């Protein structure tokens, strides 16, 4: 009688059972519930859920570009100042759960009230959960903030003529500024975009991060258009 195939089959089954027994199943609903628990604790500065659900060797990168280890992350969880309150709600959840690893990607919609004034912000966050020793914890988290257009200021048509003209970045690279029906426009290579006034001589384009501002020389004449991106300037000199 040959027992080797039977022995190998039984041994393989035992190994598979052992591996499966070591894994603690988790669902998308479990992950969402735990994640919401984290955000519900922010207002009061309750650090307990963050201690519980973040691994000791985690890395956490927030929307400001800061990266924390667990100790720095926990220390950053403090109660909101007096007069401040808010909520963070999880929406548009996508999950992938494979074995002892789970990835949860979602939007976090924040409402913050500061002495009666309400503010809003939206973030997209991806958390990677890892099951070790029967416990699921976040091993890595990455957040970014959705871009939102700034608030519009009052249009001042009396200054439009100061801005009119052609601006050059390099030979053959120009853009022009003109107005139509009480609105200001910037045009380059046939693409025209409306300039919306934020304040003073500072403008923005809807859905485009960055600012457009007009620079005045010592004689009070506009001599350049500045395309400001991430606090760095690209200067277009006025040529016409």
Pairing of strands 54-61, 135-145: parallel
pLDDT for the residue numbered 24: 80
Tens digits of per-residue pLDDT, 158-178? Answer: 999 999 999 999 999 999 999
What distance in Å separates the CA atoms of residue 209 and residue 199, rounded to the nearest whole number? 16
On whether the CB atoms of residues 28 and 104 are closer than 8 A, the answer is yes
What distance in Å separates the CA atoms of residue 11 and residue 17, rounded to the nearest whole number? 10
**Do 17-145 and 157-238 have matching folds?**
no
Residue 66: Cβ-neighbour burial (10 angstroms; 0-12, 13-18, 19+) = exposed
What distance in Å separates the CA atoms of residue 154 and residue 179, rounded to the nearest whole number? 16
**CATH code reported for the domain at 157-238:** 2.40.128.50
Give the chain's residues under pLDDT 50.
1, 3, 5-21
Asked if CATH classification 3.10.450.50 holds for the domain at 17-145, the reply, yes or no, is: yes
pLDDT for the residue numbered 137: 98
Domain residue ranges of the chain, discontinuous segments joined by +: 17-145, 157-238
List, in order, residues 6 or more apart from 37 with CB less than 8 Å away: 49, 53
What's the chain's length in residues?
Answer: 240
Residue that is written with structure tokens 């919609």 in the block: 109
The per-residue DSSP string of 125-188 comes to: EEEEEEEETTEEEEEEEEEEEPP-PPPP----GGGHHHH-EEEEEETTEEEEEEEETTEEEEEE
Helix %, strand %, coil % for the chain, to 5?
20, 50, 30
pLDDT for the residue numbered 208: 93
Tens digits of per-residue pLDDT, 7-30? Answer: 444 444 444 444 444 568 999 999
pLDDT for the residue numbered 23: 65
What distance in Å separates the CA atoms of residue 43 and residue 162, rounded to the nearest whole number? 48
């Amino acid at each position: 009688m040959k027992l080797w195939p039977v022995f190998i089959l039984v041994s393989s089954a035992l190994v598979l059972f052992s591996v499966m027994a070591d894994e603690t199943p988790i669902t998308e609903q479990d992950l969402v519930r735990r994640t919401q628990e984290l955000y519900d604790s922010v207002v009061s500065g309750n650090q307990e859920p963050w201690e519980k659900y973040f691994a000791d060797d985690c890395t956490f990168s927030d929307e400001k570009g800061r990266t924390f280890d667990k100790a720095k992350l926990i220390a950053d969880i403090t109660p909101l100042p007096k007069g401040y309150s808010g909520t963070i709600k999880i929406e548009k959840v996508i999950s992938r759960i494979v074995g002892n690893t789970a990835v949860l990607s979602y939007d976090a919609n924040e409402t913050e009230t500061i002495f009666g004034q309400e503010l809003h912000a939206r973030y997209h966050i991806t958390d990677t959960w890892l099951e070790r020793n029967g416990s699921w914890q976040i091993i890595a988290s990455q957040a970014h903030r959705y871009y939102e257009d700034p608030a519009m200021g009052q249009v001042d048509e009396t200054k439009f003529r100061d801005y009119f003209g052609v601006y050059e970045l390099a030979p053959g690279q120009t853009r022009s500024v003109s107005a139509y029906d009480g609105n200001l426009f910037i045009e380059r290579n046939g693409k025209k975009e409306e300039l919306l006034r934020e304040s003073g001589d500072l403008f923005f384009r809807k859905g485009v991060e960055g600012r457009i501002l007009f620079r005045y020389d010592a004689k009070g004449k506009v001599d350049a258009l500045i395309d400001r991106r991430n606090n760095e300037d690209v200067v277009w000199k006025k040529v016409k």
